[in-house]
Amino acid sequence: MKQKSIILTGGGTAGHVSLNQAIIPSLLKEGYDVHYIGSHDGIEKELITGSFPDVPYHGISSGKLRRYFSMKNFTDPFKVLAGILQAQSIIRKVKPTMIFSKGGFVSVPVVIAAKMAKIPVVIHESDVTPGLANKIALPFASHVFTIFEDTLKYLPSEKATCTGSIVRQELFEGKKDRGLRKCGFEDDKQVLLVMGGSQGSVVLNDALRSNLPELLVNFNIIHLCGKGNVDQTLTSLKGYKQFEYVTNDLSDLLHASDYIVSRAGSNSIYEFLALKKPMLLIPLSAAKSRGDQILNANIFKKQGFALVLEEEELTKNTFLKSIQRLVDQNPKIIQSMTNAESPKTPDEMVKLILQYEK
């Protein structure tokens, strides 16, 4: 019997790849020939080829989807058209029984090409309101899964289901002692992890570094500062460890942490919740985004899982005070997290996805 094939797509940020990373082992275990379509040089290529070297990776052309005026808005549609043609060629060769899309601009030509080839498409939306790529993809999809119940009101009821969060299994395999060794911490201070997403955050980096003398009195600090953002003048500072970005060792660093300061991408905050890590969320401002992180953060705040500091209110002083509030409210936050619904396993998610295969 011929082996079944499936194509996964999604990229642009780590959040548009993490669920695909989580379900690939389950799909391989089910006997599927898994292929991935992403951009030629996006973060998805590094994440997928680095974690799954045996999964064929296909790079295609893709234009960026912008909500603002740019001259590139006139040329990028031609890149999308080229991407559709390239995706069609890949689909003809792979002959998948279905395509699963996690979103991001690279997924749009893949989803359109799949519809033209009459291949079922399932998409996943992890924010409260659908992103632009998934809005475009929605008419071409057989079904869409969501993390947040509130997202369903923005989607056609006949083809939308809320699954709750899905967390990759390797997250739970991290070890605190390995994380501490990686950072070279030698004392038993509590550990504060600060991360600004896969691309880093200048405002978070500045807020943390301006408070290092005060924070290092009580904390060892892990700082995921983004590519090109390591401050070489601070590399010898005791108790402060900088990384541009971490992939394979992230679960160890999360297990080593007692508190987390982060942006509010849904995949990340659900991982913090699964590990019961009290979090201070500083979502991307509405001026810098479509406001999805603000909605994510406020839902977590309402459920008692997190404290929220709006970016517009972020200063040296408010950052330090918010960290202190996080420490003070630690027991209350942990109790709320203990009562939270357990995330779905990748195996469970794969079973839901495969309902829609050809």
pLDDT tens sequence across 155-175 = 999 999 999 999 888 899 999
33 strand-pairing partners? 5
CA torsion sign for 263, 124, 166, 5 is negative
Evaluate whether 5-166+343-354 and 170-338 have a shared fold.
yes
Higher pLDDT, 91 or 68: 91
Prediction pTM value: 0.85
pLDDT at 71 over 60: no
The answer to whether residues 11 and 43 touch, using CB atoms and an 8 Å cutoff, is yes
Mean pLDDT of 240-254: 92
The predicted structure's pLDDT at residue 221: 98
The confidence band for 15, taking pLDDT boundaries of 50, 70 and 90, is confident
CA neighbor of 257 nearest in space, from 238, 272, 246 = 272
pLDDT at 77 over 90: no
The predicted structure's pLDDT at residue 198: 63
Mean pLDDT of 352-358: 93
What is the three-class DSSP state of 275? Answer: coil
The predicted structure's pLDDT at residue 62: 83
pLDDT at 242 over 60: yes
Residue 16 CA to residue 103 CA, distance in Å, equals: 6
The predicted structure's pLDDT at residue 195: 95
Percent of the residues in the chain that have a pLDDT greater than 90, as a whole number:
80
262 strand-pairing partners? 195, 281
The confidence band for 319, taking pLDDT boundaries of 50, 70 and 90, is very high
Query: Across the chain, what does the average pLDDT equal?
Result: 92
The confidence band for 349, taking pLDDT boundaries of 50, 70 and 90, is very high
pLDDT at 250 over 60: yes
**What are the angstrom distances between the C-alpha of 217 and each of 11, 98, 239, 264, 341?**
39, 54, 9, 27, 36
The confidence band for 33, taking pLDDT boundaries of 50, 70 and 90, is very high
Assigned architecture for domain 5-166+343-354: 3-Layer(aba) Sandwich (3.40)
The predicted structure's pLDDT at residue 176: 96
pLDDT at 72 over 60: no
The predicted structure's pLDDT at residue 1: 61
Tokens representing residue 307 in the block: 């404290």
pLDDT tens sequence across 178-232 = 999 999 998 999 999 999 876 668 999 999 999 999 999 999 999 999 989 999 9
The predicted structure's pLDDT at residue 12: 87
pLDDT at 88 over 90: yes
pLDDT at 312 over 90: yes
Contacts 24+ apart (CB under 8 A), 201-208: 201/226, 201/263, 201/282, 202/229, 203/282, 203/311, 203/314, 204/261, 204/263, 204/282, 204/314, 205/229, 207/314, 207/315, 207/316, 207/319, 208/261, 208/319
What is the three-class DSSP state of 279? Answer: strand
Domain-wise residue ranges, the chain:
5-166+343-354, 170-338
The answer to whether residues 114 and 132 touch, using CB atoms and an 8 Å cutoff, is no
The confidence band for 247, taking pLDDT boundaries of 50, 70 and 90, is confident
Mean pLDDT of 338-352: 93
Domain 170-338 CATH class label:
alpha beta
